[in-house]
Amino acid sequence: MNKRRFLQPVFAIILILLTMNGYAEDVEFEYNDHAKRDPLWPLVGVNGSIMNYDTDFLITDLALEGIITGADGQNLAILNGRIVGKNGRIGQFDVFEVNVDSVILKNKQEKFKLELK
């Protein structure tokens, strides 16, 4: 009787594994990084420096997707899926100002204005 109790779960597990074998071959997976750093990439380089995976955006690559309004003008902007605030940085651009319907970015001495659509 004890032998039978032991063999029933073993046979059930073997049966499950045999039926799953065909399904495992059909599964495909593709990671969508949403233009952000792959979580498996290292954060620190071999020489101890912090790795930077940000791409250098052109102003035409940036899209203002939304603005989160806060108290006392502490607004946040959503640019290309990233949340940035005043004095923040995205690519080579510094966030100079975040208004209720626009964002002003600065690159060196040049300023650019992105507006909500």
Other CB atoms within a 10 A radius of the CB of residue 95 amount to 19
pLDDT in tens, the chain (117 residues): 566 677 778 778 877 777 666 655 666 777 777 666 677 778 777 777 666 666 667 888 889 999 999 888 789 999 988 888 999 888 888 999 999 999 999 998 999 999 998
Cβ atoms of 82 and 76 within 8 Å: the answer is no
Question: What pLDDT score does 96 carry?
Answer: 94
Domains along the sequence of the chain with CATH:
59-115 (2.30.30)
DSSP 45: -
- Rounded distance, CA 23 to CA 117, Å? 46
Question: What pLDDT score does 24 carry?
Answer: 56
pTM to 2 decimal places: 0.55
Question: What pLDDT score does 43 carry?
Answer: 77
Question: What pLDDT score does 20 carry?
Answer: 66
